[in-house]
Chain A
Amino acid sequence: MTKMRVLLSRLSGLFRKGNLEPDLDDELDFHLQMEISENVRRGMSPDAARSQAMQRFGGVARVKETYRETHSLPFFQVLWQDLRYGFRMLRRSPGFSLLAILCLTLGIGSNAAVYTWIEGILLRPFPLVAHQDRMLAIAGFNREVPRDPDVSWPDFQDFEKSCTLIDAFIVDRITGVTLAIGDKAETARASIVSANYFDALGVRPILGRGFEPEENSGRNAHPVTVINYQLWQSRYKSDPDIIGKTQMLDGLPHTIIGVAPPGFNGTFVGWSMQFWVPLSMQEKFDPGGYKLEDRGERWIEGFVRLKPGVTLQQAQAEISAVARRLETTYPATNRNHGVNLFPLWRTPFNNARTMFPTLGIALAVVIAILLIACANVGNLLLVRAFSRRHEMTIRLAVGAARNRLLRQLLTEGLILSTIAALGGSLMAYWCRNLFVLMLPARGGSRMNLPGEIDWRVLALSTGVCLISTLLFALVPALQTSKIDLTSALRSEAGGVVGGHRRGLVRSALVLVQVALSFVLLVGAGLLLQSLRGIQNISPGFSTGTLTTGVDFTAAGYDRQRSNNSQDALIDRLQALGGVQSVAVERTTPFGYRSYSSGPIAVDGYETAADRQIIVNYNEVGPAYLATMGIPLLAGREFTRADNETSQPVAIVNDVMAAQFWPGRDPVGSRLQVKGKWLQVVGVAKASKYERLMETPLPFFYVPVRQNAEGLGLVIRTSLPPPVMAKALAREVKALDQNLAPGEVITMQEQVDRTTAVQRTAVMLLAVFGGLALLLAAIGLYGVMSYTVSQSARELGLRMALGADRGNLVRLIMSNGLTLTIAGVVAGTAAALGLTRLMGAMLYKVSPRDPAIFVSAFLVMIVAASAACFLPAWRATRTDPVRALRD
């Protein structure tokens, strides 16, 4: 209590210095006058009275000094002194200060920027959502089929009822909707959510309400929707009376019951939602029929929120136990099915998981950049510490404490890193949305991947700033504290090339920089090489084919009408000039929607009793293979005659043919899919289906009319995509103005989207690798030019003894290159260890690929030569006479 009061009064004393001095002078003066007159009264002479009074008082100056120190906080006063002095020193050498601040800004700023990405994309991806630290993604798994992350609604409800450690279960299934505004139809993104969605997330609609519990059930019984704030502003002109109005969604009028608050974009990393509809509308918006009462229909993606203090492991154990119970209770639908909980950054069904490796690499890279920057600034400070030897020596000689000097140097470092941290935060602020720019846009709409600057990011940046200060300022500071007073007498120009012990520390710092940037170069090279490898893979179809979609069901068509309109549209498109063929498909290769899959059986192919063979397939229309440019190896394509009433048929790919009908022609054989027998009528060449890196997989096609609704169109045409898009829009509108045409892109772009992660990683590493190289070159340049300036006498002597310019250049260059090679050796050792961690991102490139290491080495040598040449050239300009005389 008392201590607190003293501290406060002293703190305030820091700012009230002005009126302190005259008051104190008055008071002391009064004291002395009283003493003097007392002495005079006792009979002393005025002079004697005065000197007696002064003597008894003690030193006035010292009293004042003690008084002042007591009055405020000496620590802060010294700090203030150090700060002022530090600023003066930095202003005196602006080149040094600017370079140091620039290096640190790049280091701290790139760190802060990557933290904002990690925070905004992985750790707290959903703005406005409360308790994201307790939020987990819930995803199902099937022990027999990988990549099947969905959960059925009855299971979901059972988990909700039985799990005591979990606060809330939230359904969130992304879907597309077609909305009609006036005479225009457009597609938008929507989410099918459970009624508790907004309450559980702690998001309150700014107008109207969220969903009510009863809106979870009743087949298509609640056509209501909550709309996005931006949509409300742009499309509904911020209509204050919007609540209760209706909006056509997928051909059905929906009552708008709420407007989400600004900034809330839903809970899907990468995309923002425009509409939210309740669970009961599942059949309307999620293809494949009514699923709410079917335990075998798994379609839900969602989140759970843990109760406070519960760990992921505890919750996982509990929910696994429930899942096992469901397996025994409902073996028909639940055998081999379970659920996993994931932290948000590992969410399997949105973009978080694909971003994670890239951001991981980015983090490693920026830490390397920071270390390089610190080594660089450390070096610069060492140079200065050396040239400030005289100043330091004098300060020591007149009695400054060594730790006081240390403090001064650390303060100067702190000034540098604080300015850099401010600059870095600004840089992070500008770069917070940069990450998304490195990802390709999808049909003009950028993904929604904002960086998030919050107190955690700022705290981390502050921490980085402090740590880097210690890293770069401590070495020169410690060196200074070792100053030998007599060394002040030594001449500055008397060094020897590569001689000094201090030179050793500096060389070590450069070595670290070279090594780190070498590692980054190798990483960039490996990623570039594997990206090139990936892009050289032939997808097995024509990448010039266009793909788009027209969702008839979404416009409210029934199956029959949708089929007819689809045929009509295909006829219209095929009649256009420049269009060779058009075909329909359910799933576009390399898309977000996954293929249908099912257990298959083939006559004569034996499987283990309990094992099912699950194969993916696609539902396609007539002329699909020709349109996609996939070679037909045997048999025939589907035709319009392969419809609901004709014999069920299939086309298998050659991998499947070789596996199930080895040495035989499968055409004419039978194939059983989900218990239904199909006649194989053709064999297609295998292509890539989901990723370029996949190994050739068994796959087959079935006619779309016999199985599902066609959602996508592929078009073989010589028209460029924008022209085709216009033509498509025209034809679709002519057919029905409530239909919305989808985005028209080439299959090449469709494929490229799946390699976005690799390309982003390459771009990140290329940018940062270049930056690291630049910093290392600056460091090398600094060391070499300093060596040259410090060994002027030696160089002059050599010249006087007959060394020509070539000799001197060789001497300096070989010095710098030796340092570089040593750095590369250290870097190689580090890279061999580190690149293995990139294994998952590499394709057909060994993490130890010698060609890459050699290329990185060559780049390093070229950069180093460039950095050393200028100092070497300057060495040849040494005037021997002057160097020897000085």
Chain B
Amino acid sequence: MPNDKTAAKADVLHGSLAFMVLRTLDTLGPQHGWGIARRIEQISGNALELNQGSLYPALLRLQQMGWITSKWGASESNRRARFYAITRAGKKQLAAEAANWQRISGILARFANPARESS
């Protein structure tokens, strides 16, 4: 019954995955897909309903935008893995998105706590 189990988890907000990926790569440096997925789950405290698979089309899109690059390399277990790294354009985009999400979460917070707003 996956539905029961995931009911408490939040959906990945539209467009926020890209932001999380960029932030992860900015913080940790080059990472492979699994590493990125793990990190996002850790940060969100496993409270996020992330289909790990949906990460890969998102990574492709970010590459097409020119915000990240990828390169094949060897993983910690010495397996062939594709590593992603943030680019300069990606860092700029990250800054813009960080500001944007800050604003949005501020707005949503006000809706979440209407009492504080009216007092």
Contact = CB atoms under 8 A, between A and B. Distances in A.
B56 A28 contact: yes
Interface string B47-84: 00001111011001101111000000001010111100
B32 interface: yes
Given A2-B66, A30-B79, A70 B60 contact: yes
B57 A26 contact: no
Contact of B53 (A9, A23, A62): A62
Contacts, number: 70
B19 interface: no
Contact of A55 (B2, B65, B80): B2
B48 to A, nearest CB: 11
B53 A58 contact: yes
Interface stretch (A31-39, A107-115, A296-304, A334-342): A31-39
A67 B60 contact: yes
Contacts of B37: 31
Interface of B: 2, 32-34, 37-38, 51-54, 56-57, 60-61, 63-66, 75, 77, 79-82
Nearest to B41: A56
18 contacts: A5-B66, A23-B82, A26-B80, A27-B81, A30-B33, A33-B79, A55-B2, A56-B52, A57-B51, A57-B52, A58-B53, A60-B53, A63-B56, A67-B56, A67-B57, A69-B57, A70-B61, A70-B64
Contacts of B65: 2, 5-6
Interface string A1-12: 010011001100
B45 to A, nearest CB: 16
Interface of A: 2, 5-6, 9-10, 23-24, 26-28, 30-31, 33-35, 37-38, 55-60, 62-63, 66-67, 69-71
Contacts of A66: 54, 57
Contacts of A24: 56
Nearest to B52: A57
Nearest to B89: A2
Contact of B54 (A31, A34, A58, A71): A58
A26 B33 CA distance: 12
B104 to A, nearest CB: 21
Contacts of B66: 2, 5
Contacts of B79: 30, 33
Q: Which of B37, B57, B81 has the most CB of A within 10 A?
A: B57
A59 B54 CA distance: 9
Given A2-B66, A27-B82, A63-B56, A58 B34 contact: no
A67 B61 CA distance: 9
Contacts of A5: 64-66
A749 to B, nearest CB: 73
B89 to A, nearest CB: 8
Given A23-B82, A31-B37, A70-B57, A58 B64 contact: no
A35 B34 contact: yes
Contacts of B75: 30, 34
A623 to B, nearest CB: 93
A54 to B, nearest CB: 10
B64 A31 contact: no
A9 B64 CA distance: 6
B80 A34 contact: no
B64 A6 contact: yes
Contact of B60 (A28, A55, A59, A71): A71
Q: Which of B52, B63, B75, B77 has the most CB of A within 10 A?
A: B52
B14 to A, nearest CB: 15
Nearest to A67: B57
A30 B34 contact: yes
A60 B56 CA distance: 11
A23 B56 CA distance: 12
Contacts of A30: 32-34, 75, 79-82
Contact of B51 (A23, A37, A58): A58
Given A2-B66, A33-B79, A34-B75, 16 more contacts: A5-B64, A6-B65, A9-B63, A10-B64, A30-B33, A30-B82, A35-B52, A57-B52, A58-B53, A59-B53, A60-B53, A63-B53, A63-B57, A67-B57, A70-B60, A70-B61
B37 to A, nearest CB: 7
Nearest to A26: B80
Contacts of A26: 80, 82
Contact of B56 (A27, A34, A37, A69): A27
Contacts of B34: 30-31, 34-35
Q: Which of B32, B34, B38, B79 has the most CB of A within 10 A?
A: B34
A101 to B, nearest CB: 40
A485 B63 CA distance: 45
A291 to B, nearest CB: 74
A474 B76 CA distance: 60
Contacts of A70: 57, 60-61, 64
Nearest to B58: A70
Contact of A31 (B2, B33, B77): B33
A34 B77 CA distance: 9
Contacts of A60: 53
A10 B2 CA distance: 36
A90 B75 CA distance: 52
A250 B67 CA distance: 80
Q: Which of B56, B63, B65, B81 has the most CB of A within 10 A?
A: B56
